């Protein structure tokens, strides 16, 4: 018997997490000097969070320590169960150094127990996409080895694209230069970004105006989308729900896909900023 873990950076909604029987490792963020742990939307005031950012607040995120991972994992091992953990991209955080240290010690303490991890090589609902289908596979009775093989096949076909409304937050996080921020802001340039095969954020295109940026996202889905009738499509937004709903309707009308619209959580939102739209779908190749 094994337990399937994810972290809150996969951003699956709390009701979905409960339905799938997932164990969630909650990631921290700080707003106005108060620390929170993202609860998958159960009690989160998203509007207040993004309004605070628009007003100048600078939320911060941080890595978990070794003790925190031990607190999550040890009770499962102590009762004789194994662990399979689908993580967000290891390229995005130093938190996995603490995770590796905790796992190494726990394996020595519980030599008969197994702990397996899988890097989804993406974040937010990209990681959520991988986690969602991992949970379905586990709940169908897949062994840890079968699940591992399944995810090795699924992850390279998980596309995560997003467009940001303001370059301020990408600049603050070191993703773009000061010159790019200034020029892009003056010209209304919106960068299109995605996660590459290594799990890194890459800027692949630009658009003048946000509507044109969303058109480019659709173009990528037309070009690379595959089995869109079999897999869910996720549209995420950072406090721009009407725009996201309109975008989701276009996707459904054109592709007939089951489209899930969801808000970006505070941990991811701290880096992308309000007005972000993301698109996650099954693709032929990343």
Tell me the residue range of the domain where 148 lies.
Answer: 2-155
**Residue 208, pLDDT above cutoff 70:** yes
- CATH number of the domain where residue 236 is located: 3.30.1180.10
Give the separation between CA 196 and CA 198, rounded to whole angstroms. 5
Q: Which of 128, 134, 127, 129 is nearest to 149 (CA)?
A: 134
Judged by DSSP in three states, 201 sits in: strand
Q: Which of 180, 214, 175, 177 is nearest to 195 (CA)?
A: 175
Structural domains in the chain (count):
2
Interhelix angle 241-255/210-224, rounded to 10 degrees, is 30
| Domain closes at, from 131, 155, 179 | 155
| Domain closes at, from 118, 136, 155 | 155
User: Considering Cα of 125, then 127, then 133, then 139, what sign does the dihedral take?
Assistant: negative
Q: Are residues 228 and 95 in the same domain?
A: no
Give the pLDDT confidence score for residue 188 in this predicted structure.
Answer: 64
Q: Are residues 42 and 125 in the same domain?
A: yes
Q: Are residues 11 and 89 in the same domain?
A: yes
The string of pLDDT tens digits covering residues 251-277 is 999 999 999 999 999 999 998 899 999
Q: What is the pTM of this model?
A: 0.94
**Residue 185, pLDDT above cutoff 90:** no
pLDDT band at 181 (very low <50, low <70, confident <90, very high): very low
| Domain closes at, from 155, 177, 200 | 155
- CATH number of the domain where residue 146 is located: 3.40.50.10170
Tokens of 219: 């173009």
């Amino acid at each position: 018997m094994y337990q399937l873990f994810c972290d809150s950076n996969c951003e699956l909604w709390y009701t979905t997490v409960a339905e799938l029987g997932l164990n969630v490792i909650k990631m921290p963020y700080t707003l106005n000097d108060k620390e929170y742990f993202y609860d998958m939307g159960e009690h989160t005031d998203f509007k207040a969070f993004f309004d605070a950012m628009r007003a100048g607040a600078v939320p911060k995120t941080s890595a978990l320590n070794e003790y925190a991972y031990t607190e999550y994992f040890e009770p499962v091992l102590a009762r004789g169960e194994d662990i399979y953990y689908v993580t967000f991209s290891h390229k995005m955080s130093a938190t996995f150094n603490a995770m590796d240290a905790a796992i190494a010690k726990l394996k020595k303490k519980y030599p008969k127990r197994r702990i397996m991890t899988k890097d989804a090589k993406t974040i937010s609902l990209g990681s959520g996409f991988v986690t969602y289908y991992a949970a379905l596979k586990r709940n169908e009775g897949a062994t840890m080895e079968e699940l591992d093989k399944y995810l090795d096949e699924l992850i390279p076909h998980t596309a995560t694209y997003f467009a940001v409304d303001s370059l301020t937050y990408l600049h603050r996080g070191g993703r773009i230069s000061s010159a790019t921020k200034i020029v892009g802001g003056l010209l209304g340039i919106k960068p299109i970004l995605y996660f590459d095969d290594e799990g890194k954020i890459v800027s692949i295109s630009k658009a003048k105006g946000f509507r044109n940026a969303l058109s480019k996202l659709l173009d990528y889905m037309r070009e690379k989308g595959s089995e869109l009738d079999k897999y869910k499509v996720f549209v995420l937004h950072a406090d721009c729900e009407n725009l996201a709903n309109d975008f989701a309707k276009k996707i459904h009308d054109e592709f007939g896909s089951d489209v899930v619209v969801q808000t970006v959580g505070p941990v991811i939102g701290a880096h992308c900023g309000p007005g972000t739209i993301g698109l996650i779908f099954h693709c032929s190749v990343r």
